[in-house]
Structure 1
């Protein structure tokens, strides 16, 4: 039996952990100006403390292991791990730490925070939608959220590229971040 949306405020209160096996931290970008390449980070950990009485007390932290980047092409993945892109050897994690959580409408949130890539910290805001809260097959309370954000990778020093004969570039500077999250309420 699920928790109705009318009860989501009280159900959301508390501490939550990301379920990595049911969550996706993905990205997509244009390749050669005409196709889209999609990828994800397969190793992730994160938690949230949500206080629906005072959203200022809410916090979110997510860590992605750069080594786990997966675009379904091992040569491309190795290049993404290199100093040309994420520099996994010197910067093994991408980290997001919230500076604010705000409920902007029913089941709609804006999470503001600092995103650290390659040791460079920049503020970002991420819109998220609460899809629902329900009890899973083990009796645990689970919340589903989705969101996304477009960023310019050059803002974090990820600037490698190759010009094309057409005048374009091999990799777009604009990256779409895609979040599909399954959170499990901690007891």
Structure 2
């Protein structure tokens, strides 16, 4: 077991073809709109023996927002929401990783949206590790966190006749991560 655990230590890169960095929110108070960012770069530096020394970083390209509606996506890129021309990236940099129990972590860090930085804590579940058919050591993680978009300057809205609003202030961030262990050309883990 110790040998396997040592295999977990080191750098893991997010696999963009098997990772979803998404969100959901209420629309018109009655349904959910889901979306994702298709262009991002992320890494985990894992310390299997001392998880509190692990770190996570994520950089998202705002222009890659995809809610399956081109008009809505374009509106989300404007100054009403993300203001992609002036704030092209969303970043998350961890400052602490707490292990709650076996396979359950809280990743604490600073998220920056529209130039506003706030500390958040994201509960993450470790799903497991497998070697894929291409020989990559692959780990899975899932988690979510609700934030208030107004805290980051995303204030646009429209009132509804019922007294509600078109877009909820509460946004659920959704992380489904497949990360590949960085290994040398001989296929042995680096770290």
Q: Same fold, TM exceeding 0.5?
A: yes
Contact 1:133 1:143 in 2 (8 A): yes
Q: Show CA shifts across 1:70-107 (max 9, x none).
A: 00000000000000000000000000000001111111
Change (3 A) 1:171 1:8: farther
Cα distance in 1 for partners of 2:4, 2:176 equals: 19
Instruction: Normalising by structure 2, report the TM-score.
Output: 0.92
Take 1:7 and 1:90, find their aligned partners in 2: how far apart are those partners?
47
Unaligned 5+ residue runs, structure 1? Answer: none
Contact 1:8/1:133, CA 8 A, preserved across alignment: no
> 1:59 offset after TM fit, Å?
1.4
Does 2:55 correspond to 1:59? yes
Q: Unpaired segments of 5 or more residues in structure 2?
A: 184-191
For 1:175-186, what aligned pairs fall within 5 Å after superposition?
175-186=171-182
Counterpart of 2:20 in structure 1 is 24
Q: Give the equivalent residue in structure 1 for 2:7.
A: 11
In structure 2, which of residues 68, 86, 109 is the aligned counterpart of residue 90 of structure 1? Answer: 86
Q: Secondary structure at the match of 1:173?
A: strand
Residues in 1 aligned to 2:136 and 2:89: alpha-carbon distance in whole angstroms: 29
Please state if 1:39 is matched with 2:35. yes
Alignment of 1:98-177 (within 5 A): 98-177=94-173
Per the alignment, do residues 8 and 116 of structure 1 end up closer, same or farther by CA in structure 2, a change over 3 Å counting? Answer: farther
Q: SS at 1:83's partner residue? A: coil
Please tell me whether the aligned partners of residues 37 and 61 of structure 2 are also in contact (alpha carbons under 8 angstroms).
yes
Instruction: State the alpha-carbon separation in 2 of the partners of residues 138 and 126 from structure 1.
Output: 31
Question: How far apart are residue 7 of structure 1 and its match?
Answer: 7.0
Spell out structure 1 runs of 4+ moving beyond 6 A: none
Report how many residues are paired.
Answer: 183
**Segment of structure 1 superposing worse, 66-75 or 53-62:** 53-62
